[in-house]
Amino acid sequence: MDFKSNETIYSQIADHIKKRIFSGQAAPGSRLPAIRDLAKTCQVNPNTVVRVYQELTDEKLVYTDSTNGKFVTPDTAYIAAKREEFLRGKAGRLVEEARETGMGKAEFLRLAEKLWEEKGGSA
Domain boundaries, the chain: 9-74, 82-118
CA separation for the pair 10, 118 (Å, rounded): 29
Give 66's pLDDT tier (boundaries 50, 70, 90): confident
pTM of the model: 0.85
What confidence tens digit (pLDDT) does each residue in 75-116 have? 999 999 999 999 999 999 999 999 999 999 999 999 999 999
CA separation for the pair 3, 55 (Å, rounded): 19
Question: What is each CA distance from 63 to 54, 72, 96, 112, in whole angstroms?
Answer: 9, 6, 34, 35
pLDDT at position 84: 97
Instruction: Mention the CATH class of domain 9-74.
Output: mainly alpha
Flag whether pLDDT at 4 surpasses 80.
no
Burial class (CB in 10 A: 0-12, 13-18, 19+), 83: middle
